[in-house]
């Protein structure tokens, strides 16, 4: 029996849209209000990738990663592990969420 790995987010080569959208909840299932008091950084494959274009919101989806034109072209085709690091500015504490991204060729 074979299994197919499915990424949380998939982009065909050349795509910058749509933004990657996530619903991030606390341990009790409450949607976290990221609209103020947080800064964000995205890591891909254990390396810092971007710290702008990541938008926190109060309601679902409460995290949006907005890609610039051709921004994902630097990634090799295939699967990549990503981590969003949400730094709470008042406390200096970090929340982190992991997801997978796949970049696939057009053909």
Query: Is residue 86 in a domain?
Result: yes
Query: Is residue 27 in a domain?
Result: yes
Q: Whole-prediction pTM value? A: 0.90
Residue 48's CATH number: 2.60.40
How sure is the predictor about 37, in pLDDT bands with cuts at 50, 70 and 90?
very high
Task: Report the C-alpha gap between 1 and 4 in whole angstroms.
Answer: 10
Condensed to tens digits (0 to 9), the pLDDT of residues 54-95 reads 999 999 999 999 999 999 999 999 999 999 999 999 999 999
**Average pLDDT, integer, range 4-13:** 86
Residue 100 bridge partners (DSSP):
81
Kindly give, in sequence order, each residue whose CB lies less than 8 Å from that of residue 52, ignoring residues fewer than 6 positions away: none
Query: Is residue 7 in a domain?
Result: no
59: domain range?
Answer: 15-104
**Cα angle: 89, vertex 17, 35; to 5 degrees:** 25
Condensed to tens digits (0 to 9), the pLDDT of residues 82-91 reads 999 999 999 9
Query: Is residue 65 in a domain?
Result: yes
């Amino acid at each position: 029996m074979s299994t197919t790995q499915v990424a949380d987010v998939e982009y065909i080569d050349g795509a910058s849209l749509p933004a990657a959208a996530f619903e991030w909840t606390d341990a009790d299932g409450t949607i976290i209000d990221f609209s103020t008091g947080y800064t964000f950084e995205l890591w891909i494959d254990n390396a810092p990738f971007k710290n702008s274009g990541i938008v926190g919101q109060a309601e679902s989806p409460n995290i949006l990663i907005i890609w610039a034109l051709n921004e994902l072209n630097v990634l090799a085709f295939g699967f990549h592990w990503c981590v969003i690091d949400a730094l709470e500015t008042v406390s200096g504490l970090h929340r982190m969420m992991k997801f997978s991204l796949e970049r696939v060729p057009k053909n």
